Amino acid sequence: MKSTLSILAVSCAMGSAAMAADRTLTISVYSFAQDEYKEALYDPFEAICGCDVVVETGNSVERMAKIEANAADPVIDMAVISTQDALTLARKDLIAPLDPAKLTNFDKLYDTAKDPIGDHMAVGYTYYASSIVYRSDLVEIDSWGDLLGEELAGQVALPNITGTQGPLTVMMLGKALDAGTDLAPVITEIGAHADDIVTFYSRSSELVQLMNQEEVIAAPVGRFAWGSFEKSSLPFAWATPKEGQAGGMNVMVMTKNNGNEDLAYQFMDYWLSTEVQTKVAQMLVDSPANKDVVVSDEIAKNLTYGADVINALNIMPAAEIVDNRAAWVEQWNTEVIQ
């Protein structure tokens, strides 16, 4: 019994050690590139604000579940997530509208990043294009329709409908098949080809592995994963399909009634500043949403960079995804997975 008590005491001590500093900002971010963010963003910000930045990472679903579970007494002050996840949180009344006046860098943002989901519930901090990665020595890709073609049968992977990339791929396949705005017939068409598709992946790192071991020779993927393909010794290429590239945006949100709004605004504003956005872009971590960022051609080539590129992206409105996702998943489960 004594040992039980001392163990509890130890674990309590471990729990509270992290809460030692006076002012603490707790943020929830994607797990990727944490070393780079630490150098370009967290450490400099800690020096400026004299506070501690506590970082929670994980995939967006877990992070959202935690924000929801802790709604009464928010642990997280600000989070970065996808537009559709932000909209889901907004509809559940878990996040607060942002006041652009408190963000000095707001006017420097591309217009689509200023109020991506309406009511100023979120602000975009990075864009990404989405296209098809393929083995240039084995196939030639110039349309999204090629994904369901003869040539790739048995060697193609698609993103799962449940992830961020899935709806984008279905949308672009719809364009290739001239299906209009209703995606149901497109999902039916994917279902008809289900046997030709190796898997419906949910993590881009998984796809990188599959493509490196030649299980898959073409698949749609977000530009943020391109770096992993480029490092490979195999000849991978980034397609420029005739229907164009799909695209998405990640946004910042403020949890409701977190009591730490001032610090959170200060942090958001710092992240959107030309200085930080440039640093993060040069590390090839995030493509900038700040128009004033200037990078070399060499860097730009690896990012989703510049007004021309960003304005040409086919971005799916968050509301469309949130409103239809349940129906898509249902149809996908019956027609594609079975």
Partner 1 sequence: MFRNRREGLALALPAAIFSTLLFLVPVAILLSEAFRSDTGFSLQGYVDFFASPLNRSVFLRTLKLGVLVAGSAAIIGYAAAFCIVNLPGKARGTVFGMVVLPLMISPVARTYAWIVILGRTGIVNDAIVGLGLSASPIRLLFTETAVFLGLLQLFLPLMIISLVSAMENIPRDVIPAARVLGASWLNVFFKVILPLTKEGLVIGGTLVFTGALTAYITPAILGGSKVLMLETLLYQKVNVSNDFVSASVIAMILIAMSFAANLVLKRIATARS
Partner 2 sequence: MRHFANWGILGLTLIFLIGPFVIIILAGASAGPNLAFPPEGLSLKWYAKVFTIESFRASFVLSMALAVFGTITALVLGIPAAYALNRYDLPGAETIRTIVAAPIIVPGIIVGLALLRYVVVPMNVTVTVALFMAHTALVLPYAVRVVSSSMHNLRADMEEAAVLLGCSRMQAFTKVVLPNIRGGVLAAFILGFVTSFNQVPVSLFLSGPGVRTLPIDMLAYMEITFDPSIAALSALLAFMSLAIVFVAERLLGFSRYV
Q: Which of 44, 46, 70, 138 binds partner 2 (CB under 8 A)?
A: 70
How far apart, in Å, are the Cα atoms of 76 and each of 27, 137, 167? Answer: 6, 47, 28
Q: Which of 99, 215, 230, 323 binds partner 1 (CB under 8 A)?
A: 215
Tell me the three state secondary structure of residue 123: strand
Can you spell out the DSSP letters for 222-241? EGGGHHHHHTSSS-EEE---
Contact flag: residue 200 with partner 1 (CB under 8 A):
yes
Contact flag: residue 257 with partner 2 (CB under 8 A):
no
Contact flag: residue 92 with partner 2 (CB under 8 A):
no
Contact flag: residue 26 with partner 2 (CB under 8 A):
yes
Q: Which of 62, 151, 182, 230 binds partner 1 (CB under 8 A)?
A: 62
215: partner contacted, choices partner 2, partner 1, none (Cβ within 5-8 A by kind): partner 1
Contact flag: residue 194 with partner 1 (CB under 8 A):
yes
Options 204-212, 234-242, 269-277, 305-313: segment touching partner 1 (CB under 8 A)? 204-212
CB nearer to partner 1: pick between 126 and 164: 164
**DSSP annotation of 49:** H
CA 31, 265, 121: angle at the middle one, nearest 5? 80
Can you spell out the DSSP letters for 144-180? GGGGGSGGGTTSEEEE-TTSSHHHHHHHHHHHHTT-T
Contact flag: residue 5 with partner 1 (CB under 8 A):
no
User: In which element (H, E) is residue 124 found?
Assistant: strand 123-135
Q: Which of residues 266-325 bind partner 1 (CB under 8 A)?
A: 325
Contact flag: residue 49 with partner 1 (CB under 8 A):
no
Q: Which of 208, 219, 251, 318 binds partner 2 (CB under 8 A)?
A: 208
311: partner contacted, choices partner 1, partner 2, none (Cβ within 5-8 A by kind): none
Structure tokens at 113: 């990043």
Q: Which of residues 132-171 bind partner 1 (CB under 8 A)?
A: 154, 160, 162
Count other Cβ atoms within 10 Å, centred on residue 89: 23
Q: Report, in Å, the least distance between residue 233 CB and partner 2.
A: 7
Contact flag: residue 3 with partner 2 (CB under 8 A):
yes
CA 110, 115, 120: angle at the middle one, nearest 5? 145
Structure tokens at 61: 């679903």
Q: Where are the beta strands (DSSP E) in 167-318?
A: 197-201, 218-222, 236-238, 246-255, 287-288, 314-315
> How far apart are alpha carbons 87 and 108 in whole angstroms?
23
Options 57-65, 79-87, 180-188, 234-242: segment touching partner 1 (CB under 8 A)? 57-65
> How far apart are alpha carbons 296 and 281 in whole angstroms?
10
Q: 184 burial class (0-12, 13-18, 19+ CB within 10 angstroms)?
A: middle
CB nearer to partner 1: pick between 124 and 163: 163
Options 26-34, 166-174, 215-223, 288-296: segment touching partner 2 (CB under 8 A)? 26-34
Q: Which of 107, 111, 142, 206 binds partner 2 (CB under 8 A)?
A: 206
Q: Which of 21, 23, 31, 333 binds partner 2 (CB under 8 A)?
A: 31
**What number of helices (H) and strands (E) belong to the chain?**
15, 12
CB nearer to partner 2: pick between 157 and 293: 157
Options 163-171, 207-215, 241-249, 253-261: segment touching partner 2 (CB under 8 A)? 207-215
For binding to partner 1 (CB under 8 A), which residues are involved? 61-62, 65, 154, 160, 162, 194, 198-202, 206, 209-210, 213-215, 325-326, 329, 333-334, 337-338
